[in-house]
């Protein structure tokens, strides 16, 4: 069989620990035998980030701007324990944070649905994609404990010295206060990323805030979404046969529970943090979630939603068998290859991505899976495979498609 050729390279961001091991296996077993793989390789493994003073992370994000599509392996975000484990010069920042800051994107997460791993919510038939705004609000807050009686005010001082003042509260006793902010530019980017992604995957877009209570703050989110939609996207949505739907956050939660899925749910930062954990655990497992960062300029970075699976890596190092689920990492590759194929007009590459995803799903539905899935499947007597065994089983299925 002739290998599929590529035009433009993918930006390949290698990572750490067990996912780095899976990365190699996936390339050897599932990609290189079928594709003349073209990538520009960046080693984001912690050792190389440390050796390059983290320049490699910035360079990989810049390369994503140049080529448009990247695929990223999970990486360690250093903490105190990692400082000594890897003898680090500095506690380097989260690579995902660095990349997100450069690409200014929104992260879209969707469950990979397979028969036998049923969502806890019975009526959910199709995936629900969460789009989480990744800037500001409570994540960039300023807080204060109020010791006793007194007055708290919100003061804005313009560069020309003019001021605006609002009373927060006249305290009669101790309490707490919090200041939050967001930027219209960031909200606009968030809105455009969501509208573009909805058009991309041809699904309805839902957005919700608490604008009835928060008449300035949340209402600004609502207004910006609506203005951008009316001015730039309404016609495109009509043409694609999809809708943009705004409602209150509590109404959205009630509707989500009663829906059958199959849409994108755009969430403010905090709502997205909370709701994405609810959605992923209700659908089954973090190892069965896709995750893609989409920039307002239309750059894409695909990754798995889970981490480097450190516990399994230590077992692997000790020579013990591991049964780590590679599906989310495989779907990061297929997402990136499909997007590359679409942008470069390579239907064979798009077709290969579709087939590889189908092979993953058929393998699991056929009863062969990793331990994490065997624990939650409704299938009787699933066959539990080790990390490499599972990838080889997917290859066998792939070769029959």
Distance CA 189, CA 187 (A): 5
Using CB positions, name the residue nearest to ligand NAP.
307
Answer yes or no whether residue 12 interacts with ligand NAP by CB under 6 A. no
Nearest distance from residue 344's CB to ligand NAP, in Å?
27
Indicate the residue among 222 and 371 with the shorter CB distance to ligand NAP. 371
Query: Do the beta carbons of residue 180 and residue 219 sit within 8 Å?
Result: no
Answer yes or no whether residue 40 interacts with Mg ion by CB under 5 A. no
Cβ-based neighbours of 156, under 8 Å, separated by 6 or more: 163, 164, 165
Nearest distance from residue 284's CB to ligand NAP, in Å?
12
Indicate the residue among 77 and 226 with the shorter CB distance to ligand NAP. 77
Answer yes or no whether residue 77 interacts with Mg ion by CB under 5 A. no
> 268-287: which residues touch Mg ion (CB under 5 A)?
273
Nearest distance from residue 160's CB to Mg ion, in Å?
41
Residue 76, both tokens: 């360690």
Answer yes or no whether residue 309 interacts with ligand NAP by CB under 6 A. yes
Indicate the residue among 306 and 338 with the shorter CB distance to ligand NAP. 306
Answer yes or no whether residue 114 interacts with ligand NAP by CB under 6 A. no
Residue 267: exposure state from Cβ atoms within 10 A (0-12, 13-18, ≥19): buried
Site string for ligand NAP, 73-102 (x = CB under 6 A): -xxxx------------------x------
Nearest distance from residue 313's CB to ligand NAP, in Å?
9
Sign of the CA dihedral 258, 243, 335, 35?
positive
Of 183-191, 257-265, 299-307, 338-346, the segment contacting ligand NAP by CB under 6 A is 299-307
Residues that bind ligand NAP in the complex, under the rule CB under 6 A: 74-77, 96, 286-287, 303, 306-311, 324-325, 372
Residues that bind Mg ion in the complex, under the rule CB under 5 A: 273
């Amino acid at each position: 069989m002739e290998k599929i050729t590529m035009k433009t390279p993918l930006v390949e961001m290698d990572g750490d620990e067990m996912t780095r091991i899976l990365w190699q296996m996936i390339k050897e077993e599932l990609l290189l035998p079928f594709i003349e793989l073209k990538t520009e390789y960046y080693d984001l493994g912690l050792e190389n980030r440390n050796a390059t003073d983290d320049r490699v992370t910035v360079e990989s994000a810049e390369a994503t701007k140049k080529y448009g599509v990247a695929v990223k392996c999970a990486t360690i975000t250093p903490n105190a324990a990692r400082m000594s484990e890897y003898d680090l010069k500095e506690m380097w920042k989260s690579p995902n944070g660095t990349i997100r800051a450069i690409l200014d994107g929104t992260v879209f997460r969707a469950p990979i649905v397979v028969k036998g791993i049923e969502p806890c919510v019975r009526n959910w038939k199709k995936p629900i994609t969460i789009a989480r705004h990744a800037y500001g609000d409570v994540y960039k807050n300023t807080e204060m404990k109020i010791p006793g009686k007194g007055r708290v005010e919100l003061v804005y001082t313009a560069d020309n010295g003019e001021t605006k003042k609002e009373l927060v509260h006249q305290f009669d006793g101790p309490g707490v206060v919090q200041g939050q902010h967001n930027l219209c530019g960031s909200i606009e980017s968030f809105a455009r990323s969501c509208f573009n992604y909805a058009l991309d995957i041809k699904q309805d877009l839902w957005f919700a805030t608490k604008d009835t209570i928060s008449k300035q703050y949340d209402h600004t989110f609502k207004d910006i979404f609506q203005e951008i939609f009316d001015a730039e996207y309404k016609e495109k949505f009509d043409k694609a046969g999809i809708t943009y739907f705004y409602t209150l956050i509590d109404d959205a939660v009630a509707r989500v529970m009663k829906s059958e899925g199959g849409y994108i749910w755009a969430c403010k930062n905090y709502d997205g943090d909370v709701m994405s954990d609810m959605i992923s655990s209700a659908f089954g497992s973090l190892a069965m979630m896709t995750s893609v960062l989409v920039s307002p300029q239309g750059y894409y970075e695909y990754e798995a939603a889970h981490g480097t699976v450190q516990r399994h890596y230590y077992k692997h190092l000790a020579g013990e068998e591991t049964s780590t689920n590679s599906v989310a990492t495989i779907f990061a590759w297929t997402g990136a290859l499909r997007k590359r194929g679409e942008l470069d007009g390579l239907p064979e590459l798009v077709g290969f991505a579709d087939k590889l995803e189908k092979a993953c799903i058929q393998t699991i539905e056929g009863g062969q899976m990793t331990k994490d899935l065997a624990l939650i499947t409704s299938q009787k007597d699933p066959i539990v495979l080790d990390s490499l065994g599972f990838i080889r089983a997917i290859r066998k299925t792939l070769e029959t498609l």
